[in-house]
Structure 1
Amino acid sequence: MAADRDTILSWLADLAAAIVTDAEDAADLGVRIDAARTVDAATFASEALSMMRVIAESVDAPADFDRIAAPAATGQTLDAVNIMLGMALAVAGCRPDWPSRPSARRARSRVSLAGDVAIAAVDQLGGEGADLYAWLSSVTSVSCRVISDLAADAAPVVKVETGVSLPSTVLAYQLYGDANRASGLIDIAGSATPLVMPTLFDALAS
């Protein structure tokens, strides 16, 4: 039983709509997704990976990286999804400007795990998947090293305890001398109430 094309193409279309901002790339992906419905199996596999790479290379922010997640799938469709996901995360993980060391390390862990799952899926292809196995192993390894370098350059996270709830803009000014950094403070703290921040939260050290 072959991978379900509708599942894969719908997944690609959803990711493209959420992540790809370049108008020409978005239009081209739309045409390619439609055309992929009628090509032979080998061409479909190659084209699906190629389209996923375009999407991954369009990632600019951590939120885009987080959007790359697998759809519900089973059997050979799940194997195909896992291979595409491993490749996409390896490519995408090197692109954002990770705001903190913990966020970069979480991304690296996700890339590493997805890479292991993808490589295991490729291994089931035997000799036919030898080139893909070698390439995917390499790109996952390189991505993890690059993200490690990014993590080393990112700001560390510290615990902040205020004793009283304050607005995020006030805290951003007190911590960094810049109230405009309030949105970043909210993201790191994971707060849903920017006007009344928790009294104990994580924040960038600088």
Structure 2
Amino acid sequence: MSGTLLTTAAEYLQCSFRGVPFAVMGSGGSNGRKQAVHDYPGRDGVWVEDLGRAGRSYRIRGFAVGALAYTQRDLLAQAAEQPGPGLLMHPSIGLIQANCMRFEWQEPDGRGNIVELEFEFIEYTSLLSTLVVTALHASVAAAAVALSAASGSSYQSRTASAFSGGSSAIAAAQTVTQTWATAATAAITSPRAQASAVSVLNGNYGRYAQISGAETDSSATIDVVLAALTESRATIADAVTSLATIDTASALAGAVQSLTETLRSLIADPDDQIALLWPLASCSPSVVTSTAPIGAAIATAQTETAALCRRAAIASIAQASSDWTATSSADAEAMAARIVALIEAEEEIAGDAIDDDSYQALHELKGEIAQDLSSRATKLPDIITITRNSNLPALTLAQQLYADATRADDLITRADPVHPAFMPNEFEALSA
């Protein structure tokens, strides 16, 4: 009998709560709606008021067996006593965040190293998550707009004397913007921009399309998408060409900021928006310092125009980050670290230049982005390592882990197997 139990335990060892494994013998659950029944005097029957979906509850019977049975029992008791939801991993339910409502255990008479377990769980949902995320997105957008306004105003005031000194400083500023804008041309003509354009089409593109927030258009066709991409390339080309004819600080600031936002709006997938805008956040022209009036004016025009270009790209990257969809907490934390580091580098430049308005705007934007992405990271599943004894098909693993075979594409993308029917024995996957 002990050998049979050990075999069963090994087969279902992946079942766990808060990382503590146990074997499952039977499971059940309840689903439905919350209903309020109202009785009224003098009226036959009742009126039933729907209050929304009821919490999904689960009842699980299992056991721990072997030399570590009592250790597993104690660890599960500690896990059940911890506050808040925990990660429940079940062979048929999949991975969910759940609150443990009841945990009971007992030792069968006359048998050692066996502990029978009973659990009741209720699936955890956050009622405020949508409201909080919406508010954080609005805060990031407001901070990005504030940066654009502060950067444009600072640029006009700090280049006023240089531009008034003659056409040499204006030409230097135009040269900086045109050199910088070549990255926008390269972005919109890149293969990634084309892949992002077709991401709005309906269909399953497997591991070859990683979409992080793009919305599909059921009415779109490949001809319509490619025509729109051609038009987008022409729009960016016209915007880049116009930079060579602008001769005032206010118009140049507006054109630079419009270019990055136009590029962002023409890319469907926010993940691609960030990637394609990233090179535009770098602009370091070769500036020759000079004590001569014209030389100093040219140097000022070059330095301030480069700062304007970088901050315009940062503002657009911030806007894209609020629409970006992370698949795991690790992805969100990594994106937050990248963008915060980018802003901190520009923040240091603004501080060294005593550009107080731009520095403050960058500082506030950094805080909003860090809060937004960190808040989302806490609500997203972690990356965990899955181990199996044999090479199973991705569809089977998706059903086992998530009770949802459509999640197979995500498993394939993360594991990158030679063939989806033979997944590796060990690979990374989302915890929920």
What TM-score results when the alignment is normalised by the length of structure 2? Answer: 0.41
What is residue 238 of structure 2 aligned with on the other side? 31
Task: Give the conservation status (yes or no) of the 8 Å contact 1:52–1:84.
Answer: yes
Alpha-carbon distance in 2 for matches of 1:87, 1:33? 19
Task: Give the conservation status (yes or no) of the 8 Å contact 1:104–1:150.
Answer: yes
Task: Give the conservation status (yes or no) of the 8 Å contact 2:417–2:424.
Answer: no
Cα distance, 1:190 vs structure 2: 5.1
Task: Give the conservation status (yes or no) of the 8 Å contact 1:85–1:118.
Answer: no
Cα distance, 1:115 vs structure 2: 0.5
Alpha-carbon distance in 2 for matches of 1:148, 1:56? 23
Of the two, which has the highest radius of gyration? 2
Cα distance, 1:9 vs structure 2: 1.4
- Give the partner amino acid of 1:193: V
SS at match of 1:201: strand
In the alignment, which of 90, 99, 110 is matched to residue 318 of structure 2? 90
Alpha-carbon distance in 1 for matches of 2:350, 2:261? 17
Distance 1:94 1:202, change over 3 A: same
Cα distance, 1:104 vs structure 2: 0.6
**2:398 is the counterpart of 1:172:** yes
**2:272 is the counterpart of 1:49:** no
What is residue 65 of structure 1 aligned with on the other side? 274
**2:397 is the counterpart of 1:184:** no
Aligned residues: 203
SS at match of 2:322: coil
What is residue 108 of structure 1 aligned with on the other side? 336
In the alignment, which of 313, 321, 345 is matched to residue 117 of structure 1? 345
CA offset digits 1:79-111 (Å, max 9, x no partner): 566434433332222211211111011110011
Alpha-carbon distance in 1 for matches of 2:317, 2:242? 25
Distance 1:88 1:30, change over 3 A: same
What is residue 118 of structure 2 aligned with on the other side? none
Question: Which protein has the bigger strand share?
Answer: 2
What is residue 7 of structure 1 aligned with on the other side? 179
Alpha-carbon distance in 1 for matches of 2:284, 2:262? 25
SS at match of 1:68: helix
Alpha-carbon distance in 2 for matches of 1:10, 1:151? 34
- Give the partner amino acid of 2:184: L
Q: How do 1:131-150 residues align onto structure 2 when only pairs under 5 Å count?
A: 131-150=357-376
**2:308 is the counterpart of 1:99:** no
Task: Give the conservation status (yes or no) of the 8 Å contact 2:389–2:425.
Answer: yes
Cα distance, 1:151 vs structure 2: 1.3
Greater shift in the superposed pair: 16-25 or 42-51: 16-25
Task: Give the conservation status (yes or no) of the 8 Å contact 2:178–2:243.
Answer: no
What TM-score results when the alignment is normalised by the length of structure 1? Answer: 0.77
Alpha-carbon distance in 2 for matches of 1:6, 1:55? 15
SS at match of 1:98: coil
Cα distance, 1:169 vs structure 2: 2.9
- Give the partner amino acid of 1:174: Q
Cα distance, 1:147 vs structure 2: 1.1
Over the matched positions of the two proteins, sequence identity in percent amounts to 20
CA offset digits 1:127-146 (Å, max 9, x no partner): xx443332222222211111
SS at match of 1:36: helix
SS at match of 1:203: strand
Cα distance, 1:202 vs structure 2: 1.6
SS at match of 1:159: strand
Greater shift in the superposed pair: 114-123 or 93-102: 114-123
Cα distance, 1:114 vs structure 2: 0.6
SS at match of 2:411: helix
Distance 1:121 1:106, change over 3 A: same
Distance 1:161 1:82, change over 3 A: farther
RMSD: 3.3
Q: How do 1:154-165 residues align onto structure 2 when only pairs under 5 Å count?
A: 154-165=380-391
Alpha-carbon distance in 2 for matches of 1:100, 1:201? 15
SS at match of 2:186: helix
- Give the partner amino acid of 1:53: E
What is residue 152 of structure 1 aligned with on the other side? 378
